[in-house]
Amino acid sequence: ATPTALMVGTGRGAQLGILIKGPEVLESTRRVDTVVLDKTGTVTTGRMTLQEVYVADGADERQVLRLAGALEHASEHPVARAVAAGAEERIGTLPAVERFENVPGRGVQGRVEGHEVAVGRLAELSAALPAELARAKEEAERAGRTAVVVGWDGAVHGVLAVADAVKETSAEAVRELRALGLTPVLLTGDNRAVAEAVARTVGIDQVIAEVLPEDKVEVVRRLRGEGRTVAMVGDGVNDAAALATADLGLAMGTGTDAAIEASDLTLVRGDLRAAADAIRLSRRTLATIK
C-alpha cells in the first residue's frame, strides 16, 4: 500500500464523517468479517425515558419514585438518568442520598431517608420479585423496554420500565454491513428479551445479552479465537476494553472519551451507516493501490 493512496483514503474518510487514527488502520478494516455492535447508544439513541411505573400490591408509587429517583440521580448511566428525570417530573424534588454505590452493569445501591435501597438488575432484587411485578417486568422486557427493579429494606416494591429508541439509521446500516458480507452481532449488558426485540427491529440474528461490562472484552476475544476478524462498534466506558481488543475499534463520536480513545476509527455523527462507509472506503482505497 502506497502512503499517498492511504492518505487519500484518510482524507475521504474525513469527508464521510469518519476520523481515522492513522492510514494503517485501513488495512485492518478491509479484512473484517464480523461486526459486534453495542446496543445502548450505538444501535439505539441511548436517550432513555421513564415510561411506566409498576408497584407491588400495597406499595406507594410516590415512595418508589422518591427512593429510586434519589439514588439514580447520583449515577450517570443512561438508565439512571431516565429514572431520575422521570421521578423528578412526576413528584418534584428528590430527597438527598446518605450513601451511594454504583454497581457497574447492574445498578445502584445506597441509603436514602434511612432505607437501604437497591435499584437495577441486581440478583438479590430478582430473587425477591413478587408475582405481580414479575409479570410486569416480563411484559416490559418483551416490549423491548429495560425493567428497573426497585427494592428497599429487603423487599421489592416496584418495577420501572425505561424505553430507548432504535436510531432511524440502524436498520439500514445493518443491511449495508450484510451486503458487504459481514456478520452483525448485537452485544449488550441488558436483558435478553430487550436485546432480542432490538435485534429483530434492525435485522440482527446473533444476540449476546446480559454480559457484564468487564466481560465484553472476553466476547471479542472468543470471536477472534474462532478465527474471525472482528470490528467492534461502541460508545460507552464499558466498551473501551472491547474496542481496544477488537481487530478494529469504531467509536460513536457521540459517545464517551474513553470509547473514542480506545478506538481506531470514530464515526463522528454517531450514525452506524458510517461503519459500512468505512469498510467500503478501505476496500476501495486498498484495491486502487494493488
Among all residues, which ones are annotated catalytic?
A: 38
Whichever of 30 and 77 has its CB closer to ligand ADP, that residue is: 77
Considering only 110, 144, 151, 236, the residue that binds ligand ADP (CB under 6 A) is 236
In the complex, what is the shortest distance from the CB of residue 284 to ligand ADP, in angstroms, rounded to a whole number?
A: 32
Strand extents, DSSP E, the chain: 18-20, 34-38, 49-55, 97-103, 107-112, 115-120, 146-152, 155-163, 183-187, 206-208, 230-234, 248-252, 265-267
Burial class for 210, CB neighbours closer than 10 Å (0-12, 13-18, 19+): middle
Residue 148 makes contact with ligand ADP by CB under 6 A = yes
Beta-carbon contacts of residue 15 (< 8 Å; ≥ 6 apart): none
Q: Does residue 119 bind ligand ADP (CB under 6 A)?
A: yes
**Residue 102 three-state SS:** strand
Q: Is 250 left (phi over 0), alpha (psi -120 to 50) or beta?
A: beta
Q: Does 39 bind ligand ADP (CB under 6 A)?
A: yes
Q: Which stretch binds ligand ADP (CB under 6 A): 24-32, 113-121, 225-233, 246-254?
A: 113-121
* The three three-digit cell numbers of residue 30, written as one number: 478491509
Site string for ligand ADP, 253-282 (x = CB under 6 A): ------------------------------
Which residues bind to ligand ADP, rule: CB under 6 A? 38-40, 72, 75, 77, 79-80, 105-108, 119-121, 146, 148, 188-190, 213, 236, 238
Which residues bind to Mg ion, rule: CB under 5 A? 38, 40-41, 235-236
